[in-house]
Chain A
Amino acid sequence: MDIKDIIKPENLVYDKSKLQIDTIMHYCPGCTHGVVHKILAEVIDEMGIQERTIGVSPVGCAVFAYNYIDIDWQQAAHGRAPAVATGIARTNPDKIVFTYQGDGDLASIGAAEILHACNRGENMVVIFINNAIYGMTGGQMAPTTLLGQRTSTSPGGRNVELNGHPLKITEMIAMLPGVHYVTRQSAHTASTVRKCKKAIRKAFENVMAKKGTSFIEVVSTCNSGWKMTPVGANTWMEENMFPVYVPGELKDNDKQVPSEKN
């Protein structure tokens, strides 16, 4: 059988979204960013909102997110994406705005910006990639680094006396009345990718319906920063990250009767 006999429309089982740009990925093999980028491109494409969507990329590995998804993008200073998105959303209420941020960006240097944007209930989607480490700068400790986890700035393992506890910022966000939807997902198996996509789609639908902030944490791997194989990193995430950052829904105002809404 020749390859031309195989490449036929009737044999097509998977096609990438037309919003995914053919840029060579700068992410490491095994990194979660690529999967979440793919999901985002698919959701925006399937919802037909390319012309209305503006993405805000962070500082961190995902700084170049704008090279992969064919929409208008702004690149924000470290941690400031929620403020940038606020400026866009407030002056362009017809637009659908999302930020895409890592744990160092969102939970450390940008803790104030994310808390206040969420507290105001800015009409935007927040994608929070939590891999418990600074990937781009070479594997330093993040606010979400686990106790005992070795990084280049916690070589003996994260220590409470020295570094404090891992910051469960998603739980903090879920407490804020302005936030409509908070969920914690992963994207390391076929089924979690499907669930994650469903959550991201729901978040974008919430923003289209002007329901306020929808916040999605994706518990992620950084196999190169963790110095593991991709498969080993997935196992380590399940065994060590999930007990601290428990996947599941933290808040959904759609499911509450109005009187229970906070």
Chain B
Amino acid sequence: MGELRLMKGNEVLAEAAIRCGCDGYFGYPITPQSEVMETLMELQPWETTGMVVLQAESEVASINMVYGAAATGKKVMTSSSSPGVSLMMEGISYIAGAELPCLVVNVQRGGPGLGTIQPSQADYNQAVKGGGHGDYRLITLAPASVQEMHDFVDLAFNLAFKYRNPAMILTDGALGQMMEKVELADFKPRWTREEIQEISGSWATTGKTASRERNVVTSLEMDPGKMEQNNLRFQEKFKAIQENEVRYETFMCEDAEYVLVAFGTSSRICQKAIELGRAKGIKVGLLRPITLWPFPSEVIASMTCRVKGFLSVEMSAGQMVDDVKLAVFNSGCTVPVEYFGRMGGILPSPNEVIEALESKLINR
């Protein structure tokens, strides 16, 4: 068993990055995630593992630093919160277009605009539909505990390198600020030059040697025919990710007549709501998407014909509910899909969720 600690989600992101052999972190302070960089600066991993940590002049710069370092085959990341992630969208699109692996963490806060510093899930569409320009997808992981904030750093890097695609951990201010018991992984050494050569040598800018052609990392292709071919290749990759990487968790769904669909913090609130609902005799369960993209559409479709309805519970005005509806639509059975949520940094409370379930689905 690894070391047990009581840690904030933000702190554990930093600790997990060091422990999984991350080569570099580039970031810019923004509430409610500044503890990520603060923790890294306190831990000084450049003295131990050799991991680089740099405070950039803006989120625009930090994502481009990630681009530069990722193109050399290094395992690098950034983190920010909603307004900062919006600034990164240009860079994320370039990273996806240049097929680079990296990790971006979004500790969401309420919006739009400068919004609030309180927790939110209103960047769902930005993350899973592609907030930058062009046809690309982000592998999007939604942790629901501090332990998963830890575990998903390594997982996100693994997926990013497996598919040469940026990965995002989409979390929120509640998970960033709250402390829970976490079991820390053992330290994995950073990749050696030889390992990078083996893993990424065919494309990374590791320096042109006589034994290979020069590597050029770019998202630009002037010939539209070739650019379409690039896009078709990306789509093949996205299809493979959809086939192989869907992750989800179900809770009390075996006999459920109603299924709450929620991720991250709202999925935790829903578990409590289910305790309350079950106590009242309501057969309710939870489907928690762990990967928001690829979305667990098939598991929703498989439930559709035996349940009476779905309630998508979100800390937004209803974004994921569209994906739930799409999954139900494709299942062939027709059941109602409703949304309940709070916005602007307000968290839904467990009793509100059950009240919404009753008014929107059970007593409709």
Does B145 lie at the interface of the complex (its beta carbon under 8 Å from any beta carbon of A)?
no
Cβ A75 vs Cβ B54 within 8 A: no
Cβ B68 vs Cβ A56 within 8 A: yes
Cβ A88 vs Cβ B71 within 8 A: yes
Residues from chain B with Cβ under 8 Å of A112 in the complex = 57-58, 60-61
Residues from chain A with Cβ under 8 Å of B54 in the complex = 86, 90
Cβ A84 vs Cβ B76 within 8 A: no
Does B232 lie at the interface of the complex (its beta carbon under 8 Å from any beta carbon of A)?
no
Q: Which of B208-231 contact A (CB under 8 A)?
A: 208-209, 214-220
Does B65 lie at the interface of the complex (its beta carbon under 8 Å from any beta carbon of A)?
yes
Nearest B residue to A57 by beta-carbon distance? B218
The smallest C-beta distance from A150 to any residue of chain B, in angstroms, reads: 29
Question: For the complex, what is the distance from the CA of A91 to the CA of B25, rounded to whole Å?
Answer: 10
Nearest B residue to A26 by beta-carbon distance? B222
Question: For the complex, what is the distance from the CA of A150 to the CA of B122, rounded to whole Å?
Answer: 47
The smallest C-beta distance from B213 to any residue of chain A, in angstroms, reads: 9
Q: Number of contact residues on A: which range applies?
A: 20 to 34
Nearest A residue to B213 by beta-carbon distance? A70
Question: For the complex, what is the distance from the CA of A170 to the CA of B155, rounded to whole Å?
Answer: 44
Cβ A74 vs Cβ B24 within 8 A: no
Does B52 lie at the interface of the complex (its beta carbon under 8 Å from any beta carbon of A)?
yes
Q: Which of A27-35, A45-53, A177-185, A201-209 contacts its partner?
A: A45-53
The smallest C-beta distance from A68 to any residue of chain B, in angstroms, reads: 11
Interface string of B69-90 (1 = CB under 8 A from A): 1111010100000000000001
Question: For the complex, what is the distance from the CA of A77 to the CA of B66, rounded to whole Å?
Answer: 13
Cβ A87 vs Cβ B26 within 8 A: yes
Nearest A residue to B217 by beta-carbon distance? A74
Does B34 lie at the interface of the complex (its beta carbon under 8 Å from any beta carbon of A)?
no
Cβ A85 vs Cβ B217 within 8 A: no
Question: For the complex, what is the distance from the CA of A95 to the CA of B91, rounded to whole Å?
Answer: 23
Residues from chain A with Cβ under 8 Å of B351 in the complex = none
Residues from chain B with Cβ under 8 Å of A54 in the complex = 72, 205, 207
Does A92 lie at the interface of the complex (its beta carbon under 8 Å from any beta carbon of B)?
yes
Residues from chain B with Cβ under 8 Å of A72 in the complex = 205-208, 214-216
The smallest C-beta distance from A169 to any residue of chain B, in angstroms, reads: 16
Contact surface of B with A, Cβ cutoff 8 Å: 23-24, 26, 52, 54, 56-58, 60-62, 64-72, 74, 76, 90-91, 94, 98, 205-209, 214-220
The 9 closest A-B pairs by CB, nearest first: A87-B68, A87-B65, A75-B218, A83-B64, A84-B68, A87-B69, A116-B57, A72-B205, A80-B64
